[in-house]
Amino acid sequence: MEPQQEHEGKPELSSSSISSHPQPSLEPGVDTKSTMIPSTSWFTPKRLLAIFCVINMLNYLDRGAIASNGVNGSRGTCEGGTCKSGTGIQGDFKLSNFEDGVLSSAFMVGLLVASPIFASLAKSVNPFRLIGVGLSVWTLATLCCGFSFNFWSIAVCRMLVGVGEASFISLAAPFIDDNAPASQKTVWLGTFYMCIPAGYAVGYVYGGLVGGHLGWRYAFWVEAILMFPFAILGFVMKPLQLKGFAPTDSKKELTLETAVSEAQDVNASNGKDETLSLKAEFRDKHSHEPSRSKYATTVLGQFSRFLQDFKELLVDKIFVVNVLGYIAYNFVIGAYSYWGPKAGYSIYNMANADMMFGGVTVVCGILGSLGGGFLLDYMNSTISNAFKLLSLSTLVGGACCFGAFLFRSEYGFLALFAIGELLVFATQAPVNYVCLHCVKPSLRPLSMALSTVAIHIFGDVPSSPLVGVVQDKIKNWRTTALILTTIFFPAAAIWFIGIFLHSVDRYNEDSEQEVSSVERTTTAPLLEENTAKTSISGQSQEC
């Protein structure tokens, strides 16, 4: 939080400002930065984390469910004049392995298109409300998946699932980073991202059970029912603000007051007070502009700002190296998550491949993600230390996974593969920590969005269809799995380069350089609200 003296000595705002923006207290020891945060006694940072974890779990449960044998199924086969009908989506719609792989990646299309849009809208629309919109789209699209009637209908529904998920993926991590205790930021991120492997694993089991007993359509319908309350929550709760962003419900007034504040700072030294004339000139200028021109200017301004922010990220070496390593890593993880049960069934004749892969992934995913977060906090959470952890855990974990597929024994494979997954999942917290802290706060949503776009469009979107093509040619799942696993090693090498790059944690850069004093006093995370309440309460008790 900002030192209190930063708010002292500032000229008072006008009366119109006072009516729309709470005035910061100048009493020592009282922090009123959280005046825009709703006073909800039950809504604490830990509850916010818990809500986001459940939502993330449901997102990835959906991905695991569609990859499970119970939902995905298999094609019909004919051998020796005896034909066996297919099962699940692949059997009902008679999909090839390539089409099946495309179906697994279809939701990425919506995710890739919508993620930058939601990240850009966060500057003009409250991010908390954007999450509510996204979850509503996700709920409706998942419900429609259960009513699909051919390949194209379910493919379109899966694309809309990606649109709904885009808002949450881009904005949840910055909210968590804002509200996590300073000494536990990576652990909180690890807790959030452990829901990725855990959700996949639970999805395997869930898809197998529901698909096997009720049919694959019911799996999607139940998911929609489970997500519906959280979609409603995004609209009925009073929204939170993100660090580095001005309150969106009073943006016009804030823009005026920011301009006035800057003029007052300049004129104070000259003994002039031009505040009233400046406000009159500002309002007179904008009141005579045609509304269409205003909208066009706003759209062009937002697009120009997006291009400027996009360019700033592309020239950031830390961001680029981090994302390049993440792309290679996600190429393997994406294909593992989709083809893993089928490969295990083929190589080791696992009758319950969904359960086995699900069990190993959920345990290793949770322990690995949490372990990576705890370890980075223990090492001291810096970008350089994050790259050290990323490169080492990926290298050793990749080697273990490669060795596991060489085993002829199912139990030997599971033991070594579990160790490998434990290590590779330890990257989840560090890689996202770098994404959040190598950029200034106002760029975090776009950083997460572009990272998500890159790792999917170059990573797991092409990996599932490509692995399907390779398997169609080779017709040997062991060889296909070994080829896929070798891609872990380039990922480790790229992240190793990041250790030697000059890195600066830019988490507090906006609040010190770019965000006005009015914005600083009205955009605080939930954690700071509780701190302010405690401070105020303590002071009142003393009195």
HSE-CB for 225 with a 13 A CA cutoff: 6
For the cut 50, the answer to whether the pLDDT of residue 409 exceeds it is: yes
Q: Helices 317-348 and 444-455 meet at what angle, rounded to 10?
A: 40
Q: Name the β-bridge partners of 83.
A: 78
For the cut 50, the answer to whether the pLDDT of residue 368 exceeds it is: yes
271-324: pLDDT as tens digits? 444 444 544 454 554 444 555 566 677 667 777 887 888 888 999 999 999 999
Indicate the pLDDT class of residue 81, thresholds 50, 70 and 90: low
Token output for 204:
């395997």
Q: Are 187 and 134 in contact (CB under 8 A)?
A: no
For the cut 50, the answer to whether the pLDDT of residue 28 exceeds it is: no
CA–CA separation, 89 and 211 (whole Å): 10
Q: Strand, helix or coil at 156?
A: helix
Mean pLDDT of 334-339: 81
Q: Are 526 and 49 in contact (CB under 8 A)?
A: no
For the cut 60, the answer to whether the pLDDT of residue 537 exceeds it is: no
Average pLDDT, the chain: 76
Indicate the pLDDT class of residue 488, thresholds 50, 70 and 90: very high
DSSP per position, 56-110: HHHHHHHHHHHHSHHHH-B--EEETTEEE--BHHHHHHT--HHHHHHHHHHHHHH
| More confident position, 49 or 256 | 49
Question: Is there a shared CATH topology between the 44-75+86-242 domain and the 311-509 domain?
Answer: yes
CA 450 to centroid of chain Cα atoms: 10
For the cut 70, the answer to whether the pLDDT of residue 25 exceeds it is: no
Q: Are 180 and 338 in contact (CB under 8 A)?
A: no
Mean pLDDT of 33-59: 72
Indicate the pLDDT class of residue 445, thresholds 50, 70 and 90: confident
Question: Which ranges in 21-44 belong to alpha helices (H)?
Answer: none
Q: Are 407 and 270 in contact (CB under 8 A)?
A: no
Length of the chain: 543
Mean pLDDT of 84-97: 77
Mean pLDDT of 375-399: 93
pLDDT in the model for residue 386 = 93
Q: Hey, how many other C-beta atoms are within 10 angstroms of the C-beta on 538?
A: 11
Main-chain dihedrals φ then ψ at residue 487, nearest 5 degrees = -70, -15
Return the percentage of the chain with pLDDT > 90, whole number. Answer: 23
| More confident position, 15 or 455 | 455
Indicate the pLDDT class of residue 381, thresholds 50, 70 and 90: confident
Tell me the longest C-alpha to C-alpha distance in the chain.
Answer: 98
| More confident position, 113 or 521 | 113
Token output for 127:
């991010």
Which bin fits 243, alpha (ψ -120 to 50), beta or left (φ > 0)? beta
| More confident position, 35 or 186 | 186
Mean pLDDT of 25-39: 38
> Mean pLDDT lowest for which of 97-111, 165-179, 515-529?
515-529
pLDDT in the model for residue 516 = 40
User: Domains of the chain: which residue ranges?
Assistant: 44-75+86-242, 311-509
- The topology (CATH level 3) of 44-75+86-242 is Growth Hormone; Chain: A; (1.20.1250)
Q: Hey, how many other C-beta atoms are within 10 angstroms of the C-beta on 234?
A: 21
What is the DSSP pairing of strand 82-84 with strand 77-79? antiparallel
pLDDT in the model for residue 184 = 84
Which CATH number fits the domain 311-509, given the four candidates 1.10.645.10, 1.20.1250.20, 3.40.50.2300, 3.90.1150.10? 1.20.1250.20
Indicate the pLDDT class of residue 227, thresholds 50, 70 and 90: very high
For the cut 50, the answer to whether the pLDDT of residue 390 exceeds it is: yes
